[in-house]
Amino acid sequence: MIHLAPLYPQLYKILKPSFPDCLWSGKGDRKVVALTFDDGPHPQYTPQLIQVLAQHQAIANFFWLGCCVERSPQIAKEIYQRGNWVGIHGYDHTSFPLLTADALQLSLAKTQAAIAKACDLDPKDIRDVRPPNGLFTPRTLTLLRQWQYRPVMWSVVPEDWVRPGIDVVVNRVMHQVVNGSIIVLHDGAHGGQDVAATVAQLLPLLQAQGYAFVTIEQLWHESKL
């Protein structure tokens, strides 16, 4: 297996200016980071993660798979009620460029509806979308804009889904984090086994460096100021 972790910082530098309509990171003028978690909610790993976040009084952002929300609606509801931000990761983790426009629209709408039902939200308020595997094309972005969604990407990707070890993941994050970083971790079937322990190490280190935790909504708002 080829590990791409060393390439992600370089990819970010290339992709961010190339696709400015996506949210890649905050403006960098404040000591804040956005913790994001993909692929959940998971019936075992996500509740463990919720407890760690609560212990450290940290808020996070969750990009959910519609099929997982339908399986664990109570977990989804608890995450939202605790003040975390929620978004869409597709219905079943199929890469968006592989889908027809109709299939993509259905995947997004089904996930949006599942989140709205679980969290008692207006579907129109669930607009943030992170493409599975980080894969998109210009056409993908055109369609997302057309359907009133907001594409959210990342700036720190420690490749936790291949489970290189908790210390390795934590060290990768701490070496790359800067003001406004959007950090990607996983609480689903791939990488979720370690997520609570990883975050339990990571949060005190970030807090000791003075970082506060913000929502993706806050970063969007600041990007327009």
Counting every residue, how long is the chain? 225
Residue 30: which residues within 8 A CB-CB, separation 6 or more?
179, 180, 212, 222
Q: Which of 38, 128, 160, 187 is catalytic?
A: 38
92 catalytic per annotation: no
39 catalytic per annotation: no
Q: Which of 128, 186, 187, 194 is catalytic?
A: 186
Q: What is the dihedral of CA 58, 64, 67, 70, to 10 degrees?
A: 50
Q: By C-alpha distance, which of 100, 104, 44 is closest to 75?
A: 44
Catalytic positions, please? 38, 186
